[in-house]
A and B are shown apart, each in its own frame.
Chain A
Amino acid sequence: MSSERAVTRDEGGEADEPTEKRDEAPTRERDDPVSTGAESVVRALENAGVSHLFGVQGGAIMPVYDALYDSSMRHVTMAHEQGAVHAADAYGIVSGDPGICMATSGPGATNLVTGIADADMDSDPVVALTGQVPTDFVGSDAFQETDTTGVTRPITKENYFATDADDVGDTVGEAFAMAKRGRQGPTLVDLPKDVTNADTDREPGRARTPDTYRPPETADETSVTAAADAFADADRPVILAGGGVIKANASDRLREFAKEHEVPVVTTMPGIGAFPEDHELSLKWAGMHGTGYANMALTMTDCMLAVGTRFDDRLTGGVETFAPDAEIIHVDIDPAEISKNVEADYGLVGDAKAVLAQLGAGVNRSPDAAEWREQVAEWKREYPLDYHIDEDGPVKPQFVVEAVDAATEDDTVVTTGVGQHQMWACQYWTYTEPRTWVSSHGLGTMGYGLPAAIGARFAADDEQSVVCFDGDGSFLMTCQELTVAVREELDITVFVLNNEFIGMVRQWQDGFFEGRRMASEYNWMPQFDVLAEAFGATGFRIDEYDEVEEVVESALDHDGPAVVDVHIDPEEDVFPMVPSGGDNGLFALQGDHL
């Protein structure tokens, strides 16, 4: 593939096509000339089709904000830069196009760091634009100076320090193209104030990746043929669909392939939505808190077709016991992922959509796996996700997740923070569509949920509902972003599954630290429904089972931001569970001793 096909809006391969999920048409190309570096930055974003930006003002980024004054792109002012980057991240997940965040130098930039690291771990397309002190001051420890490119180098796919007003627009375009093309990820452009203030009449060119960057497209045919034969010969085949399937817009192709060959499908957590969980071939997702039947299938398979996954330790448990009988066919766009954590017997390097097409053509007979499917079905009967209800006791969080799922459409976007509530939200909700599950996986960033719901709201279709499940600990970390939801009149519903614990830590303390609950008890929490009202949002509260249905309905029906403070059983734990580094096949169920 030629470099001329690098990410542009008007040409390029399928993977480069913008996802048409914006609620506004892309900005028209403007015919007024640019006159400063800052205007060139803004023009580059407009030319790339950007419609929304999330950010916080500040001294060194002011010239860029000034140039935005004349742009039709919509800037969403967030309460905190971490909120801006999480919103951009979620925007990227739901829309498929890079989410853009902006911050000033120094603390503005360092406040982005958590969210950039989060996007890097999950390969989410994000572009961060940071102000910087004027070039002459760089290195002098000036006011609000931080070595932003130095700080973010290990957590960006690529970052840039702009040095010349004539080139700065092209640099921003390249950052956009790099975030989107190949294995997606965050990029950052550091913009010294003198560069953005300087005069230039250079119009930025098309957003394109550099010549040295060549993501693979299709996999080597010989390897595909060998892998296809191994797959067809399997007795106990399973497909493991990762987040890369969704990133590559390959869900449809994966579904066709799995259904044609009747192969059970397990997803990773980021892969949730790649395959409909209500389909009989779906085993939901695997890993530390994945379903028992998904973990049994991964443990006992003799041939795993793994697509767009990096075999994270929360998925594999101890690698010694991960799918130890399996030949692994690993499809990934990043060659460095092949055999990084788990050795691949067949490494197919390429775009997931393209390689699934190759495999679709290469596998000309289905594996003879009726017996295996029966075994998998038996595991589904033996190990259903389940929990106990005592109708007079405190509300179980799983019940609330099921109630919200029942009350919403299939295309509802769910965002979460990180912790127990996140696990329940992905265990007890039935996901059927890609880009409807928005969470922080690799980095595990508490506080992700609310700003992500804001970003997702701007990227989702107007008819789609956006729901956030949060924990009390997670919600407290970024709840100031409610002010944004109120100001922008965003229709989002936040369910705070409130157990007055930092619950996952409490669960581990009970299981692995002899119940010594150090610093995990959060019984000084505010009343979240009252807090919501203080922000100007609408608050609801649930204490009893018989309130659940009615309050869930009311909160969802409410037009505008709503927060439901759900007081759940504080002692409820997340099961199944594979202890860290453990054997997936030996998952513990509720009541088992950890």
Chain B
Amino acid sequence: MSSDDSNEPPAEGLGGPAPEERPRPEGRRNSQGIRIDPEVEAERPPRRTTITALVQNQPGVLSKVSGLFSRRQYNIESLTVGTTQEPEWSRITVVVEEPEPNIDQIEKQLDKLVPVIHTRELDDDAVTRELVLVKLEAEEPDKVHAITEMYDGRTLDAGPRTITVELTGSERKIDDALDALRQFGVREIARTGQTALARGETKTSVVPDRLQP
């Protein structure tokens, strides 16, 4: 403490060189906390990828997973859940579009959830499929059938006013098919979102022995 006759604060701050006279570091980080060459790199751009998680069937597990994404502001493109080869397990498949550090964070944060058995980002060559149901106006049924077949789809319901068709495939293929079908008048669409398995011998999820059913 310093005693002073007046209670006026000093004009130049209390002690030490002012900010502009202090030593300065040479480097810089970006807003993601990554050390960068300020002249070369800005931020890492977002990329689209598929994350798969094998989870134990427990009350609240889906709420935990979806809550994690909303709480940390990660963009979910799609999220699917379904049963697996074991009745006590479910698989959650999430498609996200995020920059690199966030994709790493998503995996780690998912891993922290107690019911999560294993989580990973799938490789680009993973087998992925999505299913869509499209209800169309039935004014030109023959053309609808033709285009549906062109995309390996099936007609599930055909009535006097509507036709409902099913298409499965990659997200890209479904987007293309929907573009082609739109001309007939789309009434409603339901998409499942993407589900996926790793290709060939690669394991989608690795389950430690102690957690085998």
Q: Which residues of A contact B (CB under 8 A)?
A: 3, 149-150, 153-154, 158, 161, 178, 210-213, 292, 296, 299-300, 311, 316, 319-325, 334-336, 338-343, 379, 382-384, 386-391, 393, 396, 398-399, 402, 575, 585-592
Contacts and interface: CB of A to CB of B under 8 A. Distances in A.
Given A212-B116, A389-B3, A149 B60 contact: yes
A339 B109 CA distance: 12
B31 A591 contact: no
Contacts of B24: 585
B51 to A, nearest CB: 14
B27 A388 contact: no
B85 to A, nearest CB: 18
B47 interface: no
A161 B105 contact: no
Nearest to A591: B9
A159 to B, nearest CB: 8
Contacts of B15: 292, 382-384, 386, 589
Contacts of A588: 13, 19
A100 B19 CA distance: 47
Contacts of B5: 390
Chain B interface size band reads 35 or more
Contact of B29 (A178, A321, A587): A321
20 contacts: A161-B60, A178-B114, A210-B114, A300-B23, A300-B25, A319-B31, A320-B31, A334-B112, A336-B109, A336-B111, A342-B29, A388-B3, A389-B3, A575-B14, A585-B22, A587-B19, A589-B13, A589-B14, A589-B15, A590-B13
Interface string B1-31: 1111111011111111111001111111111
Contacts of A213: 114
Max chain B CB contacts within 10 Å: which of A325, A396, A402? A325
Contact of B27 (A3, A324, A335, A575): A324
B76 interface: no
B6 A586 contact: no
Given A178-B114, A210-B114, A585-B22, 8 more contacts: A300-B23, A320-B28, A343-B32, A391-B3, A585-B25, A588-B19, A592-B13, A592-B19
Contacts of B67: 153-154
A591 B34 CA distance: 34
A390 B4 contact: yes
A581 B75 CA distance: 25
B3 A342 contact: no
Contacts of B27: 324-325
Where chain B touches its partner, the secondary structure class is: loop
B170 interface: no
B117 A212 contact: yes
Given A211-B211, A319-B33, A592-B18, A340 B13 contact: no
Interface of B: 1-7, 9-19, 22-35, 56, 59-60, 63-64, 67, 71, 101, 104-105, 108-109, 111-112, 114-117, 210-211
A591 B35 contact: no
Nearest to B104: A339
A398 B1 contact: yes
A399 B1 CA distance: 8
Nearest to B101: A339
B134 to A, nearest CB: 35
Contacts of A324: 25-29, 35
A343 B34 contact: yes
A575 B15 CA distance: 12
A440 B47 CA distance: 38
Contacts of A322: 29, 33
Contacts of A178: 114
A211 B3 CA distance: 62
A149 B115 CA distance: 15
Contact of A343 (B33, B60, B108, B210): B33
B35 A386 contact: no
B196 to A, nearest CB: 22
Contacts of A338: 108
Nearest to A183: B112
A376 to B, nearest CB: 12
B28 A321 contact: yes
A341 B33 contact: yes
Contact of B7 (A154, A296, A393, A587): A393
B149 to A, nearest CB: 46
Contacts of B4: 388-390
Nearest to B17: A382
Contacts of A587: 19
Contacts of B22: 296, 585-586
A212 B13 contact: no
Contacts of B31: 319-320
Given A153-B67, A391-B3, A321 B104 contact: no
A335 B33 contact: no
